[in-house]
Amino acid sequence: NAGVTQTPKFQVLKTGQSMTLQCAQDMNHEYMSWYRQDPGMGLRLIHYSVGAGITDQGEVPNGYNVSRSTTEDFPLRLLSAAPSQTSVYFCASSGQGRETQYFGPGTRLLVL
Amino acid sequence: GENVEQHPSTLSVQEGDSAVIKCTYSDSASNYFPWYKQELGKRPQLIIDIRSNVGEKKDQRIAVTLNKTAKHFSLHITETQPEDSAVYFCAAETGRRALTFGSGTRLQVQP
């Protein structure tokens, strides 16, 4: 079991560029979420999904899109990167039986 | 939506002392309250959690208490050790597995 994996580990973008942060889990979890963590702060929910084909907005969804075409994958798309999106992005998943969320290793994003 | 407040933001204790971190939440529908430990540059790691039908839970040196009426929950770490030094986050969940996090407490255990 690889658990929750995220790619890339680190990315530098220029303002206005777009990119997709990848998240995958091999635990057959129904629930997946994206959080961002700014320096010295807690995690804030961007988008989440309760199953394939179902997504919903979290606390800070603006500038991000998600889709959930399979149970395993939950990519996060930055449409037009802005310096305010410089952050560490964590993906998490949890299964039907327990609320415990398992976090991926994170993607560190720098937008210049 | 849910709002979680966490105090203190920093906490320094001597090795062997106890540490207490407190959180309050706003949404009475929240029913799951995890605590995460995060070391520098690492992902958050679950250390203990509690559900709304339980008032207290203990796991070795770590315990969590929940007061649903007052909407607050606390993390207690006894016999602290230098390896307990990290940032601790509380969180609350109202369902659909979407967590609202507190702002974090940086715990420093002095040897």
- Average pLDDT per run of 10 along chain A, which is 112 residues long? 92 97 95 93 93 93 96 96 97 85 96 97
Nearest CA-CA distance, residue A32 and chain B, Å: 8
Nearest CA-CA distance, residue B79 and chain A, Å: 26
Establish if B53 touches chain A: CB-CB under 8 angstroms: no
Are residues A42 and B104, on separate chains, in Cβ contact within 8 Å?
yes
Q: What integer pLDDT is reported at residue A41 of this predicted model? A: 83
Tell me the two tokens of residue B55: 């008032």
Which residues, other chains included, contact A26 with Cβ-Cβ below 8 Å and sequence gap of 6+?
A1, A2, A3, A72
Q: What integer pLDDT is reported at residue A97 of this predicted model? A: 72
Establish if A57 touches chain B: CB-CB under 8 angstroms: no
CA angle B29, B33, B39 (to 5 degrees): 145
Kindly tell me the sign of the dihedral angle through the C-alpha atoms of B26, A76, A111, B87: positive
Residue of A50, A103, A107, A108 to mutate, interface with B, max B Cβ within 10 Å: A103
